[in-house]
Amino acid sequence: MAPLSSWGRRRLVLGRHRARGLVRRWRSSLQLRVLSSTLTIGLVALAVIGVYVSQRTSGDLFEQRLQQVLRESGRSTQQTQDVVSSSTASTGSDVVQLLSDVTTAQRNGSSGERDVFMFRARGQVGSIGVATATDRDLASLVTRELKDALADGGQHWQSVAIPAADGRTSPGIVVGQEVDVPLAGAYQLFFLYSLQSEQDRLDFLLQTLTLAAVAVVALLGGMTWMVTRRTVHPVRRAAHVADRLADGHLAERMTVRGQDEMATLARTFNEMAESLQDQIRRMEELSTLQRRFVSDVSHELRTPLTTIRMAGEVIHGARDDFEPAVKRSAELLATQLDRFEDLLADLLEISRFDAGAAVLDAERRDLRDIVLQAVDNATPLAGRRGSWLQVDLPDERADADVDPRRVERVLRNLLVNGIERADGSAVEVRVGVDAAAVAVTVRDHGVGMTAQEALHVFDRFWRADPARARTTGGTGLGLAISLEDAHLHGGTLEAWGRPGRGACFRLTLPRRAGIRLDGSPLPLVPEDDEPAVAPTTPARGTDPADLPDLPPMTGEIAIVSNPTDPARTDVRPDDPAPTAPGAGPRGRS
């Protein structure tokens, strides 16, 4: 097969586009599907009815005409036999004249004009042998098969096509029967009848049926279109109003006309929309009151909290002079005051997010600096918890338009959460960058979490294990605030976990404002993750002795300056810290 030309390919592509457009139009329009299906079924039904009626009518017309022709030809044959039998012809010329006169006399039958042929039967011998015909051009329509059939006696017929002068043909019937001619022997008498009048009647009937079918299809299509339009239009209107309601236009309503089912649907829809609007309005008012209450309570609590803080600091400063029980109470009071103050700050921050009043103070910063600052701040906590922090930084700068305070808060929350759940194992921090985004992952090797828990880990005050103590004094709002901070930057914050193999959190931020993220420079699922095998005892994370090239460094930071280099460089307590390009000097905390 020869390859298609460029014009042929364009036509092929255009045809495919049109076909796909028709398919989409077919799938998206209920009215088109109902109308086309109704018309198709109607056309098929009318075609079947038309074929049945035409065949039945043509068969009846032919059968009636055939019986009429057979009766008429039988009478004419008998008349011819009577004429030739009573003839006084005594010579051959008299017989020839007699046969010619008989043939001419039988041309006109009771049902109209017909052609008559008379041929000498086969096997006859004698001096008189003549063939007569009213139209010799049509004598060839009498076939040899029909002539041979007459030799068995009786009346026989055959359908033929009668040619016309204009080249067309018309249906006809040839009927034959033998007669005995004195002095000449047996002759075969044939009558040719035209069925053109019956064919004209049948054609007229078919034309009438066709016009009636076209009218019925048009009427059926019009009625179907009107019915489907009256049915589909309110549905489309309801869909449009529902879209408007979903977009926040709660005052949108459907138009109610009449008292029928569609009007009932419109009224019910409007009542539903009215109820939803009322409920949403009340929920918004309640939400506003709740946000105002939280904000007001948080502000009002600051004054007594300040007074209690001052008194608590005085008591805490003099705790050495107290008895052991009172001294412990003073220490607990200071700790809980710190936690209470953090809780108030988080509540105020959450209320700002809920009210849409959070403002992003973005500037161009290298994310590596923010990561190291957050790691430095979390190092004392890691030392108290018996964990160590390992940081992988890329050589290239990870510049992005971010709010350093908010990003540092997100990373601090992720690190505190990782240290809390690491149970003395390593917490790995990795930074990645590509042309569109920067990303940070925080991976611990602790108790981990299930996929269902990962769906709720950013919920406010949610805890995977209520029986598990919160030793770091968290407020339960840290990850929820971190998620809001990520969304405020136009980024994402995701979580992954597996029981017994730890958890991983990934923060992805666009490098420029307005960039829509479709991926991340770092994977969320760790590369070393393998299908977990159910242990016989609960897994408690990764033992530091199982990590290669990492000596026990309780509360220390291991920084890898070039993650692409197989030879990983770890910072030890007595080693000088490596320097990442553009990030300034690095050191251990």
User: What mean pLDDT is predicted for residues 450-466?
Assistant: 76
Total residue count of the chain as it appears in this document: 589
Lowest model confidence (mean pLDDT) among 130-134, 324-328, 419-423, 457-461: 130-134
Q: DSSP 3-state helix, strand, coil percentages of the chain (rounded to 5)? A: 50, 15, 30
Check residue 530 and give its pLDDT: 53
User: What mean pLDDT is predicted for residues 546-551?
Assistant: 39
Q: Is the pLDDT of residue 371 over 90?
A: yes
Give phi and psi for 493, each to the nearest 5: -135, 120
Q: Tell me yes or no: is domain 364-466+474-560 CATH 3.40.30.10.
A: no
> Tokens at residue 348, please?
């105020």
Would you list the domain boundaries of the chain? Answer: 89-195, 262-354, 364-466+474-560
Question: In which band, very low, low, confident or very high, does the pLDDT at 70 lie, cut at 50, 70 and 90?
Answer: very high
User: What mean pLDDT is predicted for residues 100-109?
Assistant: 82
Most confident of 272-281, 338-347, 501-510, 574-583: 501-510
Q: Is the pLDDT of residue 473 over 60?
A: no
How many other C-beta atoms can be found within 10 angstroms of the C-beta atom of residue 547? Answer: 17
Assign domain 262-354 to its CATH architecture.
Orthogonal Bundle (1.10)
C-alpha–C-alpha distance, residues 11 and 356, integer Å: 54
Helices (H), 106-166: 144-150
User: What mean pLDDT is predicted for residues 111-124?
Assistant: 81
Give phi and psi for 165, each to the nearest 5: -70, -30
Question: In which band, very low, low, confident or very high, does the pLDDT at 560 lie, cut at 50, 70 and 90?
Answer: very low
Check residue 569 and give its pLDDT: 34
Question: In which band, very low, low, confident or very high, does the pLDDT at 4 lie, cut at 50, 70 and 90?
Answer: low
> Tokens at residue 302, please?
């600051």
Q: Is the pLDDT of residue 75 over 60?
A: yes
Check residue 300 and give its pLDDT: 74
Lowest model confidence (mean pLDDT) among 43-57, 249-263, 442-456, 575-589: 575-589
Check residue 226 and give its pLDDT: 84
> Tokens at residue 87, please?
């003839």
Question: In which band, very low, low, confident or very high, does the pLDDT at 505 lie, cut at 50, 70 and 90?
Answer: very high
Question: In which band, very low, low, confident or very high, does the pLDDT at 430 lie, cut at 50, 70 and 90?
Answer: very high
The residues, any chain, with a CB within 8 Å of residue 85's CB and separated by 6 or more, are 180, 182
Question: In which band, very low, low, confident or very high, does the pLDDT at 581 lie, cut at 50, 70 and 90?
Answer: very low
Q: Is the pLDDT of residue 286 over 90?
A: no
C-alpha–C-alpha distance, residues 437 and 455, integer Å: 24
Q: Is the pLDDT of residue 561 over 70?
A: no
If one compares 383 and 1, the residue with the highest pLDDT of the two is: 383
Q: For residue range 301-321, what is the model confidence (pLDDT) as tens digits?
A: 777 878 887 888 888 888 888
Q: Is the pLDDT of residue 374 over 60?
A: yes
Lowest model confidence (mean pLDDT) among 29-43, 240-254, 351-365, 440-454: 351-365
Q: Is the pLDDT of residue 323 over 90?
A: no
Q: What is the mean pLDDT of the chain?
A: 78
Q: For residue range 479-489, what is the model confidence (pLDDT) as tens digits?
A: 888 888 888 88
> Tokens at residue 465, please?
């294990």
If one compares 64 and 303, the residue with the highest pLDDT of the two is: 64
C-alpha–C-alpha distance, residues 558 and 550, integer Å: 8
Check residue 184 and give its pLDDT: 77
Check residue 440 and give its pLDDT: 94
C-alpha–C-alpha distance, residues 347 and 336, integer Å: 16
Check residue 534 and give its pLDDT: 37
Check residue 553 and give its pLDDT: 36
Check residue 125 and give its pLDDT: 64
User: CB burial class (10 A; 0-12, 13-18, 19+) of residue 254?
Assistant: buried
Q: Is the pLDDT of residue 586 over 80?
A: no
- Let me know: does 555 contact 544? Beta carbons within 8 Å: no
Check residue 573 and give its pLDDT: 33
Question: In which band, very low, low, confident or very high, does the pLDDT at 130 lie, cut at 50, 70 and 90?
Answer: low
> Tokens at residue 335, please?
């700790």
Q: Is the pLDDT of residue 471 over 60?
A: no
CATH topology of domain 89-195: Beta-Lactamase (3.30.450)
The residues, any chain, with a CB within 8 Å of residue 506's CB and separated by 6 or more, are 439, 440, 441, 492, 493, 494, 495, 496, 520, 522, 524
Lowest model confidence (mean pLDDT) among 46-55, 255-264, 361-370, 417-426: 255-264
